[in-house]
Amino acid sequence: MRGLLDAVYPPVCHICGRLSRGPYPHCCGHCFQSFEFIGVHCCELCGELFYSRQVPHLCLSCIKRRPPFAWCRGALIYRGAVAEALSALKYQGMISMQKPLEEALARGIRTMRPLPETDVLVPVPLSHRGLWKRGFNQSYILSASLARQLDLAVETDVLRRKGYRTQVGLAARDRDRNAAASFVPGRSVHRIKGQRVLLFDDVYTTGATVRACARILRRAGAQVSVLTLARARAGRGG
């Protein structure tokens, strides 16, 4: 049936507008191949991208102040087709972008192995209002395929987000304050005491969101690592 429909109504790539040839009907092969993987040229602690092909070392920010997590990496650079695909998923409800982004995440993980030893996966939550408006939590649906790949359980009630003031458009300092006020422990936070948690979010911009969540998880007795699908370069954005 899919082949017949495609013959009558050829799928169009939502990113570039061209006819989509390949396994993903709304993300053509050209756009998928343009996704940029971060690889190993980044800060060995927080994952900040280096502008040149440097041997991994601590960035200046981590030297000045250690983050509240033990390890952080992003799979893709948040720009171009990656940013377009994520925007289509999050803000336009194009669930068809889920599969190419899951595949890109799986490929990205292979470039950053070995991953830290982990007991449980925790996706960053949306508020009830945000979930009602969007209809789904993009971090949760992407983390589901990640959990299968890494053979991890997913805990969805150890963090709770209150309010719905978006991070988009806020300055870095305002993002930190907004994020710190937006997240609280969930009803099942006691379940992660003594656990090695992999916190997952879709995008890392300034890092305000994952820092706020990591602090809550650490106070609950967990060791925290962070993985994101995409990551913006410093100064471009959490």
Is there a single domain that holds both residue 99 and residue 187?
yes
> What is the spatial distance between Cα 193 and Cα 148, in angstroms, rounded to a whole number?
23
Is there a single domain that holds both residue 170 and residue 92?
yes
Residue 62: inside a domain: yes
Is there a single domain that holds both residue 82 and residue 97?
yes
Residue 237: inside a domain: no
pLDDT confidence of residue 3 = 53
> What is the spatial distance between Cα 111 and Cα 175, in angstroms, rounded to a whole number?
30
Instruction: Assign 19 to helix, strand or coil.
Output: strand
Is there a single domain that holds both residue 142 and residue 221?
yes
Is there a single domain that holds both residue 28 and residue 45?
no
Neighbouring CB atoms inside 10 A of 84's CB total 18
Is there a single domain that holds both residue 89 and residue 62?
yes
Closest by CA position to 192, among listed 161, 162, 158 = 158
Instruction: Assign 121 to helix, strand or coil.
Output: strand
Domain range for residue 206?
38-231
Residue 197: inside a domain: yes
Amino acid at 94: M
Q: Dmax of the chain from CA atoms?
A: 59
> What is the spatial distance between Cα 223 and Cα 234, in angstroms, rounded to a whole number?
25
Is there a single domain that holds both residue 46 and residue 28?
no
Query: pLDDT below 50 — which residues of the chain?
Result: 1, 4, 236-237
pLDDT confidence of residue 237 = 40
Is there a single domain that holds both residue 28 and residue 87?
no
> What is the spatial distance between Cα 106 and Cα 110, in angstroms, rounded to a whole number?
7
pLDDT in tens, 163-215: 656 666 666 667 778 788 889 999 999 999 999 999 999 999 989 999 999 99
pLDDT confidence of residue 1 = 45
Is there a single domain that holds both residue 56 and residue 119?
yes
Residue 238: inside a domain: no
Residue 162: inside a domain: yes
pLDDT confidence of residue 168 = 62
pLDDT confidence of residue 163 = 67
Alpha helices in the chain (DSSP H): 2-8, 29-33, 60-64, 80-92, 98-111, 128-134, 138-150, 172-182, 208-219
